[in-house]
Structure 1
Amino acid sequence: MPDLLRLALEQLENLPPSIWLRRSGTLYLLVNAAHIGSIGLLIGSIVPLDLRLLGMLKPGPLAALAPVLARTAAVGLALAVLTGAMLFSVRPLEYLGNSAFLVKMGLLGAGTLNAWIVRRGQAWARVLDQGRAGGAMRAQAGASLLLWLGCLVAGRWIGFL
């Protein structure tokens, strides 16, 4: 690991919020619970949306459901990233040495990039306008489902390594 990165991570570990989290089991528990809840919000929104886009779930009009579920997933992602960064700050050097953490970060980045591409693409506009998903949107929804569920599994894997 480059010296500059190691120094930055050591500084991060010595910031007051990181120290508070390490010293307070209750605070760590609450942030960890918020992280899990945020992940639940993200997965609980993105899985039904992806399944609906794939045509495997028919609970209601896609044009009405898609924007709500996408916004809810975005809020879940933002909160998960915030709380995850707080948890990371407690032991950053250890996490960077954990292969499951690195896999999770890669999947998180790929899932976020996929979501960004979806929201900027013509296929998403077609979903909102016509209420149905074409082949490109179904492929992106399938990729989304795999990426986010993979991220969830990798996150749980961290504690086992």
Structure 2
Amino acid sequence: MMTGLVWLEQSGVAAAMTAWPALYIVVSAAHILSIGLIIGAILPLDLRLLGFFRQAPLAAIAPLLSRTATAGVACALVTGVLLFTVRAREYAANPAFLIKLGLVAFAILNAVMLHRGLAWKEALARDGHPALSVRIAAMLSLVLWPGAVLAGRWIGFL
């Protein structure tokens, strides 16, 4: 594993990110904006699934918010990998980074399982009170995504 991390740190991507500080800044800013997309889309969707904002039809807002969050996750993953290449060994040994990765993985799995389930389709079709499984997924999401953000901020302090 260590040789793979060293390879990443010596890759052309890492060299470019190090040689051109402006590139690192742009990628870092894009990572932050991606996180904003995720949280900005998921928070209102999860709250709606938990019974808040009932005046907003779930069938109307859920597809837009889900797609927005998905785009944010995709961008955050790409920019995160680019940032990782610069200090791969350091990040791989950082407990906060490992916690962040675990929380992100679990949050993505939670979202995928929710969207593939019948209860999600029923919630969109009925626009009523979502099933318990949907509400549990929303509660998990409300813990996992902000937890990943907090763990991400914690990385620099360890």
TM-score, length basis structure 1: 0.95
Q: 1:116-127 to 2 correspondence within 5 Å?
A: 116-127=112-123
1:30 paired with 2:19, answer no
Distance 1:58 1:20 in 2: 48
Secondary structure class of the residue paired with 2:86: coil
Q: Which of the residues 124, 128, 134 maps onto 1:137?
A: 134
Measure how far apart 1:97 and its partner are. 0.8
The equivalent position to 1:113 in structure 2, one of 97, 101, 109, is 109
Aligned pairs, how many? Answer: 157
Task: Tell me the equivalent position of 1:11.
Answer: 7
> Are the structure 2 counterparts of residues 129 and 94 from structure 1 closer, same or farther at C-alpha, using a change threshold of 3 Å?
same
How far off its partner does 1:17 sit?
A: 1.2
Percent pairwise identity: 48
Structure 1 unmatched runs, 5+:
none
Match of 1:75 in 2: 71
Amino acid at match of 1:144: S
Q: Map Cα deviations across residues 82-121 of structure 1 (whole Å, 9 max, x no partner).
A: 0000000111000011100000000000000000100110
Cα distance in structure 2, aligned partners of 1:57 and 1:14:
49
Distance 1:89 1:59 in 2: 45
Q: Shift of the alpha carbon at 1:12?
A: 1.1
Unaligned runs of 5+ in 2: none
Q: How does 1:42-121 map to 2 (within 5 A)?
A: 42-121=38-117
Deviation by residue 1:107-143 (Cα, 9 ceiling, x = unmatched):
0000000001001101110122111312111111000
RMSD: 0.9
Q: What is the TM-score of this pair, normalised by structure 2? A: 0.96
- The ranges of structure 1 where at least 4 consecutive aligned residues each deviate by more than 4 angstroms after the TM superposition are none
Residues in 1 aligned to 2:85 and 2:106: alpha-carbon distance in whole angstroms: 22
Q: Quick one: distance in 2 between partners of 1:143 and 1:46? A: 11
**Partner amino acid for 1:102?**
L
Offset of 1:59 from its aligned partner? 5.0
